Every structure is written in structure tokens, then in C-alpha cells.
């Protein structure tokens, strides 16, 4: 009989502090966490899914009542492996299993039930980078029926599938956050620090229960397809089973097929507050921050790190308790459209705590980002009116130019502007902002000149370019005159 115990078998890809790559099981990883830099998987959904599972595992093992309990763990410099092994023993006494192929309660799956488990699908559905169902071929050009996964790959996929699945056809539920949000974790110097700081304590759970029901691997409740729920706990919601899954291994231990059907349907999005998600406040209330092809996470950096009502739970704690000088985050984004995946990316954000804790500095940074977005719109309109290309050609060109402009602005903001703003008193924040707005206007004009210089232009287009350049100057500096 095939076995694969995620606690002891090597399956999690990590990088240590010396830059060496290897694979570890859960227990070995937690023991070595102070000497590891990070989890580093080429599939970013796997990377985040594993990290989230480890956070949930640790939160259930430690059950911190308040932040000071987590701070004690951090100050100890390592995880208490005796506590963790005792926790594993309790899980097993309750009947929970960490074996992928346990007959009764396979890890992060549902035991076989002929009422629900009728349809076998390709195991490729565990990895959104592979072609399956409505998902287009993104990064792997083998056909769906050709996909094979090892036990280690399947374990990674099980950690990720319920976090990034779309609301598909035939009534398939979406994630506990609705459409997949942008997930954020703290990026500390070691994996140990990143895990501890990305956890939350019981008193940070708000109106939600922390552990009733317990996490998925300890919960005995059946995963009933499309069963609607309006209440859940932090620990259960972290790995909420919106898909019902059961791996079907081959004799050689690899997996080609699995049972897949609708899982539970969590419908109370307003009540769920995800520890790793930032929010936006709008006319319809609080909504989780979603990934967009047009807007990278850094453009929402104030709501993510500085605004009390929308910032990440663990970031608010860092600011309020003066825990770190710089707040460094990793962001995991998957962009979806109905049942299709369009894009996925991982990015890093960093903000000095002195900016996040200052309402004045945060407001000036928000105004700077709004200025950047306004400049991009003006830049796009100006370029659009210069050329006689087809709508599709000019749209693609403008999008590329705007993307380059945003990249320049992002690097300038996160590096130069933050460095200066962090070191000045609040009363100088407005002056600092205005000085950088002037620099950004010059950059916008330079981007326009570079774009038109790289294009082949007719005589009539050259005339229009000069007119539009003059108009662009007037629009950019008209705002300066109003001020």
C-alpha cells in the first residue's frame, strides 16, 4: 500500500541562509526554520499554499491567546519541537492523518464516498500553471491527459487548490474570499520569523471563532458538495475546502487522476477577515483586495500597510507595537476571469514603519500614487492621439509604455521616495511630496519622448507629436499652477 506522510517525507522546496536549495518534510522544516531563508517553489501558488498551511498548523499547535504569546515564540528564536510533536500526537489520537493516502482521512482530502466521488479528472487541476478544463496552456505544453504528478507535487497542489480556485461553471463555489484575493505574508530575514509574524493570535480574530471548527485535517465534518455555510473559524477558513478532492494513485506511486467535485460553499464574505489579505473600503463596504492585470499591488500600498481599517492584521500589529523598522511583504497574485486564469505573479513590497505609522506621511504617499496614475492616463491619451495605427496596435503600444512608466515610478517610490520620507518630520512631508511630483512629471515627459522616438512616424504624425507634446506639458504643469 502506498504511503506519503507530509510530516516526514521531503516535499517542501526551501532555500537556506547560505543559498542552498533542498526539500524537507514539515517537521524537519520547522526545526530548521531559523536557518532557512524562505520557501521557494517555481509554482507560486504552491509556495504560498504551503506557507499558509504551515501558518495554520503552527497557529493550531501554539494557540496564541494574544500577540505577546507570539512575541515570546519569536524571541525564543526557534519553534518548540516538543510542543509540535505533542500536537501531532493529539491530531493522530483524534483520527487525523498527515498521510496523503490514508483510507479514512487522507491529508487535505475527503475520504471516498460513492455519493459524491463519481468523476475522475486529470491531476493537472491541482496546478493552475498546467492545462486542464477551461484553463489555457500557460507554462507547460503537455496535454491535460499527459500530466503526471509525484506525491510531493500532489501535496503541494493540495495546499494551494482551495486558495486560488475560481468560481467555475456547474455551480462550483469560489474560495472563502470569493474570487482569489492578493495574499500577503511578512518577508523576514528567516523563514522562522516570516512564519511567526504572519500568524495571528486569538484576540486578533475579531468576531470570528479562532478554532471552532478546527483546521481541515482535524475536522471530522463531511465535505458535502455545495453545502452553504455562513460561519467558520480562522483555522478552518485558512484552508477552507471549496473543492472536494481525493487522489487516486497509480501502482508506481505517481498520480494521474483524482476525484474532483464541488466542495463547501462559504457565502458570508463580509464576515470573513483573512489574516493574509488586505481590504478596500467602497460604496459596497469592505472588499478583499483582488489582483488586476492593470494595477500592481504597490499602487495600493497605503491601504495594505497604513490605513487602520484596511491594513493587514499582522502589519497593524507591527506598526502599533513598533516591532520592525521596515515592513517587508511578499504578495502572491493570481488574476482570474470567471473560470479562466489569466496571470499569476509574486512581488515584494517594503515600507519604513515610520511612514506607515504617520497619517500625514501616508496621506502624502497616497497623493503621490494618485499623481502617478493621473500622469499615466495623460500619457496614454497623448500617445493615442499621435498615431494613425489600428486601435489594437496603438492600444498594445500604449499599454506597454504605461507599464514601463509604472515600473519606473514603483522603483523610484519604494527606493528613493520612501528613504527620504522616512527620515523627515511630518511637517516636511508636503514639501517632500511636491519635490518628487516635479521629478515624476519630468519622467512622464521623458517616457513620452522615448516612446515616440522608438516609433516610425509619418510627416503628419510628426506634426501631431509636437502638438501633443506641448499639450502634455500644459496638462502636467497645469496641475502645478492650480497648487
Reported as a single tens digit per residue, the pLDDT across 86-97 is 999 999 999 999
Instruction: Determine, yes or no, domain membership for 315.
Output: no
Give me the count of residues in the chain. 483
Instruction: Report the range of poorest mean pLDDT among 63-77, 122-136, 270-284, 310-324.
Output: 122-136
**Across 400-418, average pLDDT:** 95
* Same domain, yes or no: 32 and 143: yes
Pairing of strands 120-122, 255-262: antiparallel
Instruction: Report the range of poorest mean pLDDT among 101-110, 177-186, 287-296.
Output: 287-296
DSSP classification of residue 103: S
Residue 465: band (very low, low, confident or very high) from pLDDT cuts 50, 70, 90: confident
Count the domains in the chain.
2
Q: What are the backbone angles phi and psi of residue 337, rounded to the nearest 5°?
A: -140, 105
* Same domain, yes or no: 264 and 389: no
* Same domain, yes or no: 29 and 170: yes
Look up the domain containing 135 and give its range: 12-181+191-276
Query: What 3 state SS string does 196-260 have?
Result: HHHCCCHHHCCCCECCCCCCCCCCCCCCCCCCEECCCEHHHHHCCCCEEEEEEECCCCCEEEEEE
Instruction: Report the range of poorest mean pLDDT among 4-18, 101-115, 390-404, 411-425.
Output: 390-404
Q: Is 49 helix (H, G, I), strand (E, B) or coil?
A: helix
Using only C-alpha atoms, what is the Rg of the chain? 25
Instruction: Determine, yes or no, domain membership for 284.
Output: no
Which strands form 12-16's sheet, in the order they lie side by side? 21-24, 12-16, 36-39
Measured distance CA(423)–CA(56) in Å, rounded? 37
Q: Which residues contact 283 (CB under 8 A, 6 or more apart)?
A: none
* Same domain, yes or no: 245 and 393: no
**Is the Cβ–Cβ distance between 91 and 99 less than 8 Å?**
no
**Across 199-218, average pLDDT:** 95
Identify the pLDDT of residue 454: 80
**Across 116-134, average pLDDT:** 79
* Same domain, yes or no: 136 and 238: yes
**Across 412-419, average pLDDT:** 96
* Same domain, yes or no: 124 and 248: yes
Instruction: Output 344 or 221, whichever has higher pLDDT.
Output: 221
Number of C-beta neighbours around residue 140 at 10 A = 13
Question: How confident is the prediction for the chain on average, in pLDDT?
Answer: 90
Instruction: Report the range of poorest mean pLDDT among 160-169, 401-410, 421-430.
Output: 160-169
Instruction: Determine, yes or no, domain membership for 329.
Output: no
Q: Is 62 helix (H, G, I), strand (E, B) or coil?
A: helix
Instruction: Determine, yes or no, domain membership for 155.
Output: yes
With cell 516538543, the residue in question is 82
Residue 135: band (very low, low, confident or very high) from pLDDT cuts 50, 70, 90: low
**Across 422-451, average pLDDT:** 95
**Is the Cβ–Cβ distance between 327 and 298 less than 8 Å?**
no
Identify the pLDDT of residue 248: 95
In the predicted structure, residue 468 carries a pLDDT above the cut 70:
yes
**Across 339-360, average pLDDT:** 89
Q: Which residues contact 252 (CB under 8 A, 6 or more apart)?
A: none
Measured distance CA(51)–CA(159) in Å, rounded? 9
Identify the pLDDT of residue 137: 41
Q: Is 445 helix (H, G, I), strand (E, B) or coil?
A: helix
H or E, element range at 344: strand 340-352
Half-sphere exposure of 33 (CA within 13 A, CB side): 25
Number of C-beta neighbours around residue 400 at 10 A = 11
**Is the Cβ–Cβ distance between 214 and 63 less than 8 Å?**
no
Identify the pLDDT of residue 483: 46
Instruction: Output 335 or 408, whichever has higher pLDDT.
Output: 408
Identify the pLDDT of residue 342: 73
With cell 504617499, the residue in question is 365
**In the chain, helix, strand, coil percent, each to 5?**
45, 15, 35
In the predicted structure, residue 132 carries a pLDDT above the cut 70:
no
Measured distance CA(434)–CA(367) in Å, rounded? 10
In the predicted structure, residue 76 carries a pLDDT above the cut 70:
yes
**Across 425-452, average pLDDT:** 94
pTM greater than 0.75 (yes/no): yes
* Same domain, yes or no: 264 and 411: no
Instruction: Determine, yes or no, domain membership for 119.
Output: yes
**Triad 424, 425, 426: Cα angle to 5°:** 120
CA 45 to chain centre: 8
Domain boundary among 276, 303, 328: 276
Instruction: Output 43 or 293, whichever has higher pLDDT.
Output: 43
Instruction: Report the range of poorest mean pLDDT among 54-58, 317-321, 335-339.
Output: 335-339
Residue 169: band (very low, low, confident or very high) from pLDDT cuts 50, 70, 90: low
Q: Is 76 helix (H, G, I), strand (E, B) or coil?
A: helix
Query: Mind giving me the DSSP string for 348-388?
Result: EEEEEHHHHT-HHHHHHHHHHHHHHHHHHHHHHHHHHTT--
In the predicted structure, residue 482 carries a pLDDT above the cut 80:
no
Percent of the chain with pLDDT over 70: 93
In the predicted structure, residue 293 carries a pLDDT above the cut 70:
yes
Instruction: Determine, yes or no, domain membership for 7.
Output: no
**β-bridge mates for residue 31, sequence order:** none
Instruction: Determine, yes or no, domain membership for 81.
Output: yes
Domain boundary among 276, 291, 317: 276
Instruction: Determine, yes or no, domain membership for 152.
Output: yes
Pairing of strands 243-249, 36-39: unpaired
Residue 480: band (very low, low, confident or very high) from pLDDT cuts 50, 70, 90: low
* Same domain, yes or no: 263 and 380: no
Residue 339: band (very low, low, confident or very high) from pLDDT cuts 50, 70, 90: low
Domain boundary among 276, 299, 314: 276
* Same domain, yes or no: 107 and 248: yes
Measured distance CA(101)–CA(247) in Å, rounded? 8
* Same domain, yes or no: 263 and 406: no
H or E, element range at 288: strand 285-288
* Same domain, yes or no: 117 and 233: yes
Q: Of 465, 437, 471, 438, nearest to 451 (Cα)?
A: 465
Residue 479: band (very low, low, confident or very high) from pLDDT cuts 50, 70, 90: low
Q: Which residues contact 199 (CB under 8 A, 6 or more apart)?
A: 55, 58, 59, 62, 64, 70, 275, 314
H or E, element range at 337: strand 326-337
* Same domain, yes or no: 233 and 138: yes
Cell of 273: 477577515
Amino acid at each position: 500500500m502506498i504511503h506519503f506522510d507530509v510530516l516526514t517525507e521531503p516535499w517542501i522546496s526551501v532555500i537556506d541562509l547560505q543559498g542552498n536549495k533542498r526539500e524537507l518534510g514539515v517537521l524537519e522544516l520547522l526545526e530548521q526554520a531559523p536557518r532557512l531563508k524562505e520557501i521557494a517553489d517555481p509554482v507560486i501558488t504552491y509556495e504560498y499554499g504551503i506557507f499558509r498551511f504551515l501558518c495554520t498548523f503552527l497557529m493550531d499547535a501554539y494557540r496564541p491567546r494574544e500577540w505577546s504569546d507570539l512575541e515570546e515564540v519569536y524571541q525564543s528564536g526557534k519553534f518548540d519541537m516538543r510542543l509540535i510533536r505533542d500536537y501531532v500526537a493529539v491530531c493522530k489520537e483524534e483520527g487525523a492523518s498527515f498521510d496523503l493516502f490514508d483510507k479514512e482521512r487522507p491529508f487535505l482530502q475527503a475520504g471516498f464516498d460513492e455519493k459524491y466521488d463519481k468523476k475522475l479528472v486529470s491531476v493537472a487541476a491541482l496546478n493552475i500553471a498546467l492545462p486542464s478544463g477551461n484553463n489555457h496552456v500557460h507554462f507547460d505544453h503537455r496535454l491535460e491527459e499527459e500530466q503526471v504528478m509525484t506525491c510531493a507535487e500532489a501535496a503541494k497542489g493540495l495546499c494551494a487548490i482551495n486558495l486560488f480556485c475560481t468560481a467555475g461553471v456547474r455551480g462550483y463555489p469560489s474560495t472563502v474570499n470569493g474570487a482569489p484575493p492578493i495574499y500577503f505574508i511578512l518577508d523576514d530575514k528567516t523563514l522562522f520569523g516570516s512564519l511567526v509574524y504572519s500568524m495571528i493570535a486569538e484576540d486578533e480574530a475579531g468576531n470570528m471563532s479562532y478554532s471552532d471548527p478546527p483546521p481541515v485535517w482535524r475536522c471530522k465534518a463531511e465535505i458535502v458538495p455545495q453545502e452553504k455555510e455562513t460561519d467558520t473559524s480562522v483555522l478552518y477558513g485558512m484552508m477552507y475546502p471549496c473543492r472536494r478532492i481525493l487522489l487516486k494513485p497509480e501502482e508506481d506511486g505517481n498520480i494521474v487522476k483524482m476525484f474532483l467535485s464541488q466542495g463547501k460553499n462559504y457565502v458570508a464574505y463580509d464576515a470573513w477577515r483573512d489574516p493574509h489579505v488586505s481590504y478596500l473600503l467602497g460604496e459596497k463596504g469592505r472588499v478583499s483586495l483582488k489582483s488586476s492585470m492593470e494595477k500592481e499591488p504597490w499602487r495600493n500600498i497605503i491601504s495594505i500597510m497604513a490605513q487602520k481599517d484596511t491594513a493587514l492584521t499582522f502589519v497593524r500589529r507591527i506598526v502599533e507595537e513598533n516591532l520592525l523598522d521596515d515592513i517587508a511583504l511578499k504578495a502572491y497574485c493570481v488574476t482570474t476571469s470567471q473560470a479562466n486564469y489569466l496571470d499569476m505573479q509574486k512581488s515584494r513590497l517594503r515600507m519604513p514603519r515610520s511612514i506607515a505609522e504617520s497619517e500625514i506621511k501616508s496621506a502624502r504617499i497616497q497623493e503621490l500614487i494618485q499623481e502617478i496614475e493621473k500622469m499615466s492616463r495623460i500619457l496614454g491619451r497623448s500617445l493615442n492621439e499621435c498615431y494613425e495605427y489600428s486601435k489594437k496596435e496603438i492600444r498594445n503600444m500604449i499599454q506597454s509604455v504605461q507599464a514601463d512608466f509604472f515600473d519606473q515610478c514603483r522603483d523610484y517610490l519604494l527606493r528613493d521616495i520612501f528613504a527620504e520620507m522616512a527620515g523627515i518630520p511630518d511637517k516636511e512631508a508636503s514639501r517632500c511630496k511636491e519635490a518628487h511630483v516635479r521629478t515624476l512629471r519630468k519622467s512622464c515627459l521623458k517616457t513620452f519622448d522615448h516612446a515616440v522616438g522608438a516609433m516610425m512616424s509619418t510627416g503628419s504624425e510628426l506634426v501631431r507629436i509636437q502638438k501633443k507634446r506641448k499639450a502634455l506639458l500644459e496638462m502636467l504643469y497645469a496641475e502645478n499652477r492650480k497648487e
